[in-house]
Amino acid sequence: MDLSECTERLDEELRTADYADLDASANGLQVGPDEGEIERVAFAVDGVRETFERAIAADADLLVVHHGLSWGGFDRVTGRTYDRIAPLIEGDLALYVSHLPLDGHQELGNAAGVADLLELEDRAPFGELGPEHIGQRGTAADPYGPDELRERLEEHLETDEQPVQALDFGPDEIENVAIVTGSGTDWLDEAVATDADALVTGEGKQKAYHEAQEAGTHVFLAGHYATETVGVRALQELVEAWGLETTFLDVPTGL
């Protein structure tokens, strides 16, 4: 498949252009030629030197990641930035990035994947950001107890054996769940406004403890990396269905 065809299909599926004014990440093809044949695609959460080198070792032509290189552009490509980019050029490896577009996808996205593993029903977009949403909410067919929900997250997410932290300030039965992966505690007020019993996200902020306590809402912190592998893996399955060879590069951070 031609590289341009692959990236255009990804852009269309993920609605990359719709997030152009909302996301600091330069989504889409960040590094690579306009044309070129690709046969093997690697997938990873983070676009960093380790994943670049592992993708090259796996003989990949394209690496698809959630967290890319450019967050508002570069002033200079020197020092650590040069060292990080150099393997891409030297290894003839193209880099495609999908940050908020992957978060917001209601079928393939990170939040959608977490909702899948929690078997939520009656789903709706959540996590308002301008005209878009970067999360999802839904209802548990059988309400979870707080410990039960935490254990399910630990069982099904790639937490690198790190425990899921829980701010247990909500009801004994959790039925309505809101999800924004990564760093999503800024959407706690929206979770409360939509009558969520719990907000599931990756990592927290100091103020979230008191906000959750005052609101009487559970917050589950399942890890930034762990909550954002699911969308990347869903993209891998999509691209594999297009007839390309794929591989997933697991580089957990424990965070």
The verdict on whether residue 37 carries a ligand-binding annotation is no
Q: How far apart are CA 99 and CA 141, in angstroms?
A: 30
Q: How far apart are CA 190 and CA 250, in angstroms?
A: 32
Which residue, among 67, 246, 222, 106, has the nearest Cα to 156 in the 3D structure?
222
Q: Beta strand pairing status for 198-201 and 62-67?
A: unpaired
The verdict on whether residue 218 carries a ligand-binding annotation is no
Q: Is 115 exposed, middle or buried (0-12, 13-18, 19+ CB in 10 A)?
A: buried
Give the alpha-carbon dihedral of 206, 208, 209, 211, to 10 degrees.
Answer: 130
- Cβ neighbours of residue 98 closer than 8 Å, sequence gap 6 or more: 10, 14, 16, 27, 28, 64, 65, 66, 235
Three-state secondary structure call for residue 243: coil
Q: How far apart are CA 239 and CA 143, in angstroms?
A: 35
The verdict on whether residue 224 carries a ligand-binding annotation is yes
Give the alpha-carbon dihedral of 60, 66, 72, 77, to 10 degrees.
Answer: -30
The verdict on whether residue 228 carries a ligand-binding annotation is yes
The verdict on whether residue 210 carries a ligand-binding annotation is no
Q: Phi/psi class of residue 154: alpha, beta or left (left: φ > 0; alpha: ψ in -120 to 50)? A: alpha
Tell me the two tokens of residue 37: 């044949």
Which residue, among 230, 180, 172, has the nearest Cα to 208 in the 3D structure?
180
Annotated binding site: 66-67, 103, 224, 228
Q: Enumerate the known binding-site residues for a divalent metal cation.
A: 66-67, 103, 224, 228
